[in-house]
Amino acid sequence: MTIVYDDEPDADEIPVRRIRFTINGAKKVAEVEPRLLLAHLIRQGLKLTGTHTGCDTTNCGACTVLVDGKPVKSCTMLAVQVDGHEITTVEGLATASELHPLQEGFKEEHGLQCGFCTPGMMLAAKALLDHNPDPTEEDVRWALSGNLCRCTGYQNIVKSVLWAAEKLRS
């Protein structure tokens, strides 16, 4: 995996490590520098640009992906830490013919404006719905408390998740 960094004159030999992981169902192997962030593995290495980096400081949640089903901020994890694990990004939600109910929900309830926060919102919401199929509005707000949106004011995002929950139940 070629990722170009600025040269670090002080660094001696830069070690590379081989990792294996599954992303959206596909098994992959990569040779990475230990300092490679998971967000960069996903965006630059795998060219899956649905995962956004907003703040780069663990605050905004735009970079949220699932690792073994759990929501994490991929700007604050090293690629070497996902060795042997399973990653889901927003590209893994839809099938070839059908949107995921969360994606439908965001469409039906106007859960986005610019869309920058949306992939992270959907994955944080998926982690909630996977273990709590019938959440209250409060549950949804709490589950999304690590994700910021500068556009919508959150109301429609919450409605979108509740819409998806209902669809998934029926």
Partner 1 sequence: MIPAPFSYYRALSVDEALDLAAEHGEEAKFLAGGHSLLPLMKLRLALPEVVIDIGRLADLSHIRDAGDHITLGALTRHHDLEHSGLLARELPLLACAAGQVGDPQIRHRGTIGGSLAHADPASDLPAVVLALDATLVARGPSGTREIAAADFFGGLFETALEPDELLTEIRVPKPAAPRWSFQKFTKRAIDWAIVGVAVQGDAVALVNMGETPLRAAAVERALADGAAPRAAAALAAEGTRASADINATRDYREHLARVLVARGLQEAHARA
Ligand X SMILES: Cc1cc2nc3c(=O)[nH]c(=O)nc-3n(C[C@H](O)[C@H](O)[C@H](O)COP(=O)(O)OP(=O)(O)OC[C@H]3O[C@@H](n4cnc5c(N)ncnc54)[C@H](O)[C@@H]3O)c2cc1C
Residues that bind ligand FES (CB under 6 A): 53-56, 58-63, 73, 75, 112-117, 149-152
CA neighbor of 30 nearest in space, from 72, 68, 107, 84: 84
How open is the CA angle 74-93-67, to the nearest 5 degrees?
35
Backbone conformation region of residue 66, classed left if phi is above 0, alpha if psi is from -120 to 50, else beta: beta
Q: How far apart are CA 15 and CA 149, in angstroms?
A: 38
Q: How far is the CB of 135 from partner 1 (least distance, A)?
A: 13
* DSSP line for 30-77: EEE-TT-BHHHIIIIIS--TTS--SSSSSSS-TTEEEETTEEEEGGGS
Pick the closer one to ligand X by CB: 78 or 102.
Answer: 78
List the interface residues with ligand X, window 50-89 (CB under 6 A): 58-59
Q: How far is the CB of 58 from ligand X (least distance, A)?
A: 4
Q: How far is the CB of 73 from ligand FES (least distance, A)?
A: 4
Interface with partner 1, residue 37, by CB under 8 A: yes
What is the identity of the amino acid at 18? R
Site mask for partner 1 (CB under 8 A), range 45-84, x = bound? -----------xxxx-x--x-----xxxx--xxx-xx-x-
Q: How far apart are CA 70 and CA 143, in angstroms?
A: 12
Site mask for partner 1 (CB under 8 A), range 103-142, x = bound? ---------------------x--x--------------x
Q: How far is the CB of 76 from ligand X (least distance, A)?
A: 6
Q: How far is the CB of 70 from partner 1 (least distance, A)?
A: 5
Tell me the three state secondary structure of residue 17. strand
What is the identity of the amino acid at 157? I
What is the identity of the amino acid at 148? L
Q: Which residues make up the interface to partner 1 (CB under 8 A)?
A: 5, 8, 11, 14-15, 17, 33-35, 37, 40, 56-59, 61, 64, 70-73, 76-78, 80-81, 83, 124, 127, 142-143, 145-147
Q: Which residues make up the interface to ligand X (CB under 6 A)?
A: 58-59
